[in-house]
Structure 1
Amino acid sequence: MALIALISGIALTVTAGRYDFFGDELYFLSSGRRLDYTYADQGVVVPLFARIADVLAPGSLIALRFPAVLMCVGAIVVAALIAYELRGNRRVQMLAAGTYATSYLVVTQVALSTFSFDATLTAVITWLLIRWVRTRQDRLIIVAGLVAAVDMQVKWMIPIVWACLGLAVIACGPREVLRRPALWMASAILALSLVPILIWQSRHNWPQLAMGKIIGAEQDATGYGPIGFLPQWLGLAGFLGTLMIAAGFWGVWKMESLRPYRFIAAALVIMTVFVIITHGRPYYPTGFFPAMFALGAVTFWQFDRKRWMNLAMIPLIAVTVVTYIGTLTLMPLPSSWRTQTYDAIDLGFRSGLWGTTNWDKLVAAVDTGYDTLTPEQKSNSAIVAQGYWQAGAIEELGGRYDLPATYSPSRGFGFFGPPPDSATTVVFVGLDTAEPDLRSRFGKVERVARLDDPMGIPGIDRMVSVWKCQDPKQSWSTMWDSMTTLYFDLGQWRDPRWTTRPTH
Structure 2
Amino acid sequence: MTPAVRAFAARPVLAVAGALAVVLTALSGRYGYHRDELYFLVAGEKLAWGYVDQPPLTPLIARISTELFGNTPMGLRVFSTLASAATVIVIALLAREFGSGRGGQIVAAVCAAISGFLPGVGHIVSTATYDLLAWMLIAFFAVKLFRTDDRRWWLALGLTVGIALQNKYLVVLPVGALFVALLIVGPRRVLRSWWLLAGVVIAGLIALPNLLWQFQHDWPQLTVAGGISEDDGTENRIMFIPLQILQLSPVLLPIWIAGFRRLWKLQWPRAVALAYPVLCVAVLAVGGKSYYALPLLYVLVAAGAEPTLSWINRNRVSAVVAATFTAATSALFTLPVVPVSAVEFVLPVNKEQGEQIGWQNLTTTVAAVIPPNATILAGNYGQAGALRRYGPAHNLPLAYSPHMSFADWEHPSDTATGPVLLIQQERTPSFESHFPNCHQLTTVQNPTPNEEDGTALVLCDAPTTPWSTLWPTLRRYY
Q: Does 2:326 correspond to 1:320?
A: yes
2:103 is aligned, of 77, 91, 104, to 91
- Other-structure match for 1:105: 117
The one of 156, 181, 188 equivalent to 2:194 is 181
Corresponding residue of 1:281: 289
1:442 aligns with 2:453: no
Could you tell me which residue of structure 1 aligns to residue 465 of structure 2? 474
C-alpha contact (below 8 Å) 2:116/2:331 kept by paired residues: no
Partner of 1:298 in structure 2? Answer: 306
User: Structure 2 vs 1, CA of residues 365 and 313 (structure 1 numbering), >3 Å: closer, same or farther?
Assistant: closer
Matched residue, 2:238: 227
8 Å contact kept, 1:386–1:428: no
Counterparts of 1:194-205 in structure 2, within 5 Å, are 194-205=207-218
Partner secondary structure for residue 268 of structure 2:
helix
SS of corresponding position for 2:249? helix
- 1:343 alignment counterpart: none
Mapped partners of 1:43, 1:246: distance in 2: 34
User: In angstroms, what is the RMSD of aligned CA positions?
Assistant: 2.7
Compute the displacement of 1:328 (Å): 7.2
Distance 2:250 2:354 in 1: 23
How many angstroms apart in 2 are the aligned matches of 1:393 and 1:45?
21
CA displacement at 1:306 relative to structure 2:
11
* Residue ranges of structure 2 left out of the alignment (5+ in a row): 1-12
Query: In structure 2, what residue type is equivalent to 1:134?
Result: R
Contact 2:42/2:385 (8 A) holds in 1 = yes
Which structure 1 segments of 5+ residues have no match?
341-345, 488-504
Indicate the residue corresponding to 1:243 in structure 2. 254
CA distance in 2 between partners of 1:278 and 1:206 (Å):
18
Matched to 1:228, the amino acid is: M
Q: Look up the match of 1:333.
A: 338
Conserved 8 A contact 1:69-1:109: no
Contact in 2 for aligned 1:333/1:354 (Cα 8 Å): no
Task: Output the CA distance in 1 between the equivalents of 2:79 and 2:267.
Answer: 35
Tell whether 2:89 aligns with 1:65: no
Partner residue, 1:3:
15
Q: Deviations over 1:162-188 (max 9, x none)?
A: 211111111111101110111122122
- What SS is found at the alignment partner of 1:260? coil
Q: Percent identity?
A: 28
Counterparts of 1:194 and 1:444, CA distance in 2: 48
Instruction: Note if contact 2:440-2:456 (Cα within 8 Å) is conserved in structure 1.
Output: no
Give TM-score scaled by structure 1 length: 0.85
Q: Judge conservation of contact 2:142–2:157 (CA < 8 Å) in 1.
A: yes
**Does the CA contact (< 8 Å) of 1:369 and 1:467 recur in 2?**
no
The answer to whether the Cα contact below 8 Å between 2:341 and 2:447 also exists between their aligned partners in 1 is no
Cα 1:199/1:355, change in 2 over 3 Å: closer
Between 1:314-323 and 1:121-130, the stretch displaced more is 314-323
When residues 48 and 307 of structure 1 are mapped into structure 2, their CA distance, relative to the original with a 3 A threshold, is closer
In structure 2, how many angstroms separate the alpha carbons of the residues matched to 1:156 and 1:145? 14
> How many pairs are equivalent?
465
Letter of the 2:268 counterpart: P
| Corresponding residue to 2:226 among 200, 207, 213 | 213
The 1-side partners of 2:248 and 2:458 are apart by 42
Shift of 1:347: 6.3
| Shift, 1:413, TM fit | 1.9
Write out aligned runs for 1:394-473 (5 A): 394-425=387-418, 427-431=420-424, 433-434=426-427, 436-437=429-430, 439-452=432-445, 456-458=449-451, 460-470=452-462, 472-473=463-464
- Residues 461 and 202 (structure 1 numbering): CA distance in 2 closer, same or farther, change over 3 Å? same
**Between 120-129 and 289-298, the greater mean CA deviation after superposition:** 289-298
- TM-score of the aligned structures, taking structure 2 as reference length: 0.89
